[in-house]
Structure 1
Amino acid sequence: VKVVFKPSDLVEIGSETVSMKLVTNGDKDQVIGFLIEEYAPHGTTGAAEIRHEGEEVGTILEGEITL
């Protein structure tokens, strides 16, 4: 089981204004997802709501965000 990830292990799935790096061990049966997200000033994920079955938790290291 992989527990330490290097930046080169992360999978970028974001856009121009939001970097979303997926932390994954490549296991197709993985039941939890972890993203490292970085938003440009005034960045957004878009007008449409992102919906999924699951729960989210986050930590803001710098700045502020509107959910």
Structure 2
Amino acid sequence: MPLFSEDLDLLSQVLEKVCDERGLSRTTPEAERIGAVIIQLYRQGKRIHACIAGRPPQPTLK
């Protein structure tokens, strides 16, 4: 599944929120690993941004 600029913007926001909550700089190896996992989950169809933002995930229409 290709990632478009809107996807990357969203994933960047999610990574920023996770790093802020954990007190991590986005340039650390741990943040890079977290970013890779976020991308992997997103490509698998997980809509984790809603969960991280405190909203329940919305069903995916097929």
* TM-score with structure 2 setting the length: 0.25
Q: Which has the larger strand fraction?
A: 1
Q: TM-score, normalised on structure 1?
A: 0.24
Whose RCO is larger (CA < 8 A, sep 6+)?
2
Instruction: Choose 1 or 2 for highest CA Rg.
Output: 1
More helix by share: 2
